[in-house]
Amino acid sequence: MQAHPFIFDPIEQSYREFSDIPRLLASAVAIISRSKTLWGACRFALVTMSAFCVGSSYAQEKSLPELTISSKPIPTESWSFHFGVLEIPEYSGVHPLLQPQYETTLSKVVPLTMLFDVTLAYTDFSQLDVLSSHRLAFVDYGFHGGVRYTFAKDRKAYPFTALEYFTSLLFGADVFPDPPSNDPGRVCIAFPLTFGALYGLGERSNFQPTTQLEFGLTARPVWYYRQSWGFSYAATIGFRFPSY
Amino acid sequence: MRKPLIAVLLLLLPQWVMAQSDSVARNDSSEVNWARVAIATGGLAAGITGLHIYQSNAWWSNNRAPFHVIEDDQYQAEFDKVGHFFGGYYSSYFFDEAYRWAGLDTAQSAVLGAFSGALWEFYIESEDGFAHDWGFSRGDAKSDILGASFYLLNNRIPFLRDFRVKWFYTPTTKVTEGKTDIPGHKPTIIEDYGGQTYYLRADVHHMLPDNMKSYWPSWLNLAFAVSGYNINAHYPDGSDNFADRKKAYYISLDYDMDKLIPESSIGILNFVRRALGYWHFPAPALRLSPNPKFFLIFPVSITFDHGLHIGAEPSLGG
């Protein structure tokens, strides 16, 4: 039997070349979104992962001597600006996202910060044409506040580490336009949960990162007024400008 | 969709209580005073509960409906959106004061204040969404969020600290004679947009180079302002009352009461002094548009038409 150099596409019920991987990924997402069980499993995995991360970070903090904790670079405040895409099942398509964010530390020894963001998601990419005179059309705008924990590494032990991970849990509200059909509600309370990574683009002499690249994946459980629970997702990339 | 200012005014109540023992509200100490945190959160919770009960009885009772959203972009020529912006901004200020009084540092209290202000205004807007006679206004919510966000920017970006949003109010016939858009509706000063003016003032003294500061008093500012124009227009002949309602724009002098009134060792006086820093008081102004006009003391109009006439500018509110 000849080995097949292709991948099986479950939607088309046929084999495809490796170059079709993006399409296969889209197929996988489509299958997951059609299945309530798989959808639920994804949500469960997300919540479990977040609980695990928070638990492990707490254990890590407890196990570290106080001296090493204080050698982690904790900015007093940071401004970030994120670009990305937002996917809301009730509003078809992928929507460009802009998200300015402010962050300030809650502690001088634990890399826990509180933050406030404003989320602006446009209906489509043509809305980003700043030279156009049309009125901006948002598919989602809202605000969120909450806490972020950065898995900051001890710079005495890892002086050259540029990559750090973080997780954040926020609470806020969002407003949507009228959906085309099956009105799922147009105003919601949201609980964005984000996992991401910070990559330092430079470092000061005392191991404090300067500007950082920030990558984030957000799952956002939402409760639509008078309606039901929903879910939306965002992927963002941006810059974080910490000050110490 | 309305009432942002009454929300702010009712939030004053717990603030006044808290300010009783406040003599060092502006400190950056990282020591959180948990007793003050309890008083601040308790006071805010009591204020919010009181406001909810008041609004439930005054506006929302017997007026409930399923949640619904409205578009009211043409309402009052969008001037009400400026009011909502200020509602989010000023609410954030009061929350910020409470958190700072409790011992949070300036950055923490500012971010928490802005978040609380936005949440508070959003809550009021959401309750409107369940009211039969009005609804959740997307435009109002956008303005609320913008106002709270600007408060944070205003506090954390050094350049923006030279700017401040202020408000000014004089009653119009809407309140004094009960002329309202909705028959049978009792107008309040909150809905009296014709009498409201909002200012963005620049601290000229602080912006000047050091060698020029002595030429400009520290309390005197320049401001850009926006008010309603013909905002209460009513036409008995059945014409569209909203057709001639506009926004008017001004440049104006402005003065900071928190700089003119000396600092006091009594907490409540200091709190009132700082809160007055967000209010504009009558000052010379030039209306740029529409119908350019100079006001010696805005909004008093002085005209010479077969004699001297002094009175409130009628075109503001009608």
DSSP result, B51-104: HHHHHIIIIITT-B-S--EE--TTGGGGHHHHHHHHHHHHHHHHHHHHHHHTT-
Chain B residues with CB under 8 Å of A225 CB are: 67, 126, 129, 136
Say whether A145 and B111 touch across the interface (CB within 8 A). yes
Q: In terms of CA atoms, which chain B residue is nearest residue A75?
A: B107
Q: In terms of CA atoms, which chain B residue is nearest residue A172?
A: B119
Q: Is the pLDDT reported for residue B148 higher than 60?
A: yes
Per-residue pLDDT reduced to its tens digit, B230-253: 877 777 777 776 777 888 899 999
Other beta carbons within 10 angstroms of residue B303's beta carbon come to 12
Which of A163, A147, A158 minimizes the C-alpha distance to A68?
Answer: A158
Q: Residues B289-294: what's their mean pLDDT?
A: 85
Question: Confidence band (pLDDT; 50, 70, 90) for B30?
Answer: low
Suggest the residue from A116, A120, A144 to mutate for an interface test with chain B (most B CBs closer than 10 A): A116
| Contacts across the A-B interface (CB distance below 8 Å) | 63
Q: What are the C-alpha distances in Å from A92 to residues A86, A123, A234, B262? A: 11, 9, 14, 59
Pairing of strands B136-137, B69-70: parallel
pLDDT recorded at residue A48: 57
**Could you say which residues from 42 to 71 on chain A have a Cβ atom under 8 Å away from some Cβ of chain B?**
none
pLDDT digits (tens), chain A, 244 positions: 444 445 555 555 555 554 455 565 566 666 666 555 566 666 656 665 556 555 555 555 555 444 444 566 678 889 999 999 999 888 888 899 999 999 998 877 788 899 999 999 988 887 777 666 666 788 999 999 999 998 877 766 666 667 889 999 999 999 998 876 666 568 999 999 999 999 988 777 667 778 899 999 999 999 988 778 888 999 999 999 988 8
Q: Is the pLDDT reported for residue B88 higher than 80?
A: yes
Token pair 């971010």: residue = B111
Other beta carbons within 10 angstroms of residue A208's beta carbon come to 17
CA atoms of A39 and A42, how far apart (whole Å): 5
**Could you say which residues from 106 to 165 on chain B have a Cβ atom under 8 Å away from some Cβ of chain A?**
107-108, 111-112, 114-115, 118-119, 122, 126, 129, 136, 138, 141-142, 145, 148-149, 152, 156
Asked if A104 is an interface residue toward chain B (Cβ–Cβ < 8 A), one would say yes
Token pair 């710079």: residue = A155
